Amino acid sequence: MDGGGRFARPLTPTPKARGGREGAASDSRRGEIQRRTPGRRESAANADGGRVRVLDRAIIGGRRFFVGLSASRAATCGAGTWLVALLFAATGAYGLQRGGHMPVAIETARDMADAAANLAGFRIANVNLSGQNHVTPGDILATAGVKPTSSLVFLDAEAARTRLEELPWIKRATVQKLYPDRLDIQLVEREGFALWQKDGKINVIARDGTVIAPYSDDPRFIRLPIVVGDGADKSVTEIVEALSLVPGVRDQVRAAIRVADRRWTLKMRNGIDVRLPEHGLIEALQELAVLDRDKQLLTRDVTIIDLRIADRVSVRLSDAAYEARQADLKAQSKKKGGNT
């Protein structure tokens, strides 16, 4: 209707020509119907497009947020703080190392770790020691690094074993951790095998030549054989075992002297020197034992018995014996001259 209450166009349709005009009218009416009532397909497409646009906006917004955060002043300040902290930590570690305080710092950190482990129930409450004769329990625990505040968790059993085996008396050690609070230490000690004299000092040595301890008046050391000189510690087994085969000679030996790290000279208790060969040591000692048994050679008035040559024995008389021998020869010569 217009403003006067009249219709703008006739209510009855106007006849139109078929063909193009009629098709156009039909299209026009369909367009009007479509404009008045939108279809379901258009609504679904619009909804899908909306969701895609929301997702795209979210992605783009997130990207902008992280890019902005990485370039922000707060993040830059945080990275600088970490770098400064690392610089101070490195400087402190270098200062501890140069100042010689690193062991103290490490020990403090270990004590703190032990304290935490002890609160959890891993304090070392029982220590079982076995095999020790010469090393005291205090020395064993101190060497192994076991303190009243030590925890089983942070005790390095392998390092403790290595330190124990560095002690002269200890040949072999076994360290076992039995959780939660027990530690077992088993030791195999070296035995004193001989006394080694060098440069005026006497030490107790083991069978392998390891120096165990300085000589003392311990009754266990008094009767040990004595070897003297460079290389005597490494060859001690050779002479001790050879002398054990001839106890009659061994009991008269005061010391065995290593000569040029090649052979031995025996210093007997009565002052006689017995020079032994480089090779055939046992055979020479057995020959000496026979001569002493049959002819009391070791009690004669001689100073040197030389066994270095396999097929002969040479002796050197003492000064008194030599003079007596010379006087006896002169007397015999005079007697022969008078008889002639």
Q: What was the pLDDT predicted at 39?
A: 47
Residues 58 and 87 both lie in one domain: yes
Task: Identify which has the larger pLDDT, 339 or 30.
Answer: 339
Nearest CA among 128, 218, 202, 136 for reference residue 169: 136
Q: What was the pLDDT predicted at 28?
A: 44
Q: What was the pLDDT predicted at 94?
A: 55
Q: What was the pLDDT predicted at 52?
A: 46
β-bridge pairing 194-198 and 226-228: parallel
Q: What is the mean pLDDT of residues 154-161?
A: 95
Question: Which CATH number characterizes residue 280's domain?
Answer: 3.40.50.11690
Residues 253 and 312 both lie in one domain: yes
Q: What is the mean pLDDT of residues 130-148?
A: 94
Residues 185 and 264 both lie in one domain: no
Residues 230 and 290 both lie in one domain: yes
Assign 3-class secondary structure to 110-155: HHHHHHHHHHCCCECCEEEEECCCCCCHHHHHHHHCCCCCCECCCC
Residues 174 and 209 both lie in one domain: no
**CB atoms closer than 10 angstroms to residue 88:** 10
Identify any residues that bridge with 315 across adjacent strands, giving them in sequence order. Answer: 305
- Give burial (CB, 10 Å; 0-12/13-18/19+) of 155: buried
- Ordered alpha helix ranges (H), 245-340: 247-250, 281-295, 319-339
Residues 223, 193: contact at Cβ < 8 Å?
no
Global pTM value: 0.63
Residues 232 and 306 both lie in one domain: yes
Residues 207 and 303 both lie in one domain: yes
Q: Of 189, 209, 233, at which residue does a domain stop?
A: 189
Range with the largest mean pLDDT of 68-72, 106-110, 138-142:
138-142
- Tell me what the pLDDT averaged over the chain comes to: 80
Q: Of 132, 163, 189, at which residue does a domain stop?
A: 189
Residues 175 and 202 both lie in one domain: no
Task: Identify which has the larger pLDDT, 79 or 171.
Answer: 171
Is a pLDDT exceeding 60 seen at residue 276?
yes
pLDDT in tens, 195-253: 999 999 999 999 999 999 999 888 889 899 999 999 999 999 999 999 999 999 999 99
Q: Of 189, 216, 249, at which residue does a domain stop?
A: 189
Residues 161 and 57 both lie in one domain: no
Residues 125 and 152 both lie in one domain: yes
In a domain, 331, yes or no: no
Residues 230, 273: contact at Cβ < 8 Å?
no
How far the first Cα of the chain sits from its last, in Å, is 197
Is a pLDDT exceeding 80 seen at residue 41?
no
Q: Give the residue numbers spanning the domain of 253.
A: 194-325
What is the rounded CA–CA span in Å between residue 268 and residue 321?
A: 18
Residues 311 and 207 both lie in one domain: yes
Q: What was the pLDDT predicted at 220?
A: 84
pLDDT in tens, 280-326: 999 999 999 999 999 999 999 999 999 999 889 999 988 887 777 77
317 sits in which H/E element: strand 314-317
Q: What was the pLDDT predicted at 154?
A: 92
Question: What residues have CB less than 8 Å from 135, skipping those under 6 apart?
Answer: 167, 169, 170, 187, 189
170 sits in which H/E element: strand 170-178
Task: Identify which has the larger pLDDT, 186 or 26.
Answer: 186
**CB atoms closer than 10 angstroms to residue 110:** 17
Q: What was the pLDDT predicted at 29?
A: 47
Question: Could you give the dihedral angle defined by the CA atoms of residues 236, 238, 239 and 240, in that order, rounded to the nearest 10 degrees?
Answer: 70
In a domain, 17, yes or no: no
pLDDT in tens, 46-57: 555 555 455 456
Q: What was the pLDDT predicted at 74?
A: 47
Query: For the chain, what percent of residues have pLDDT higher than 70?
Result: 67
In a domain, 293, yes or no: yes
In a domain, 309, yes or no: yes
In a domain, 3, yes or no: no
Residues 202 and 307 both lie in one domain: yes
In a domain, 9, yes or no: no
Q: What is the mean pLDDT of residues 8-14?
A: 50
Question: Which CATH number characterizes residue 184's domain?
Answer: 3.10.20.310
pLDDT in tens, 77-132: 555 565 656 655 566 555 656 666 567 666 777 788 888 888 999 999 999 999 99
Nearest CA among 179, 249, 258 for reference residue 226: 258
Is a pLDDT exceeding 90 seen at residue 2?
no
Task: Identify which has the larger pLDDT, 7 or 192.
Answer: 192
In a domain, 297, yes or no: yes
* Length of the chain as a residue count: 340
Residues 256, 231: contact at Cβ < 8 Å?
no
For tokens 């990207």, the residue is 63
Number of domains comprising the chain: 3
User: Residue 328 — pLDDT band, cuts 50, 70, 90?
Assistant: confident
What is the rounded CA–CA span in Å between residue 172 and residue 25?
A: 114
In a domain, 105, yes or no: no
- Ordered alpha helix ranges (H), the chain: 20-36, 40-70, 73-99, 102-119, 137-144, 157-165, 219-222, 236-244, 247-250, 281-295, 319-339
**CB atoms closer than 10 angstroms to residue 212:** 19
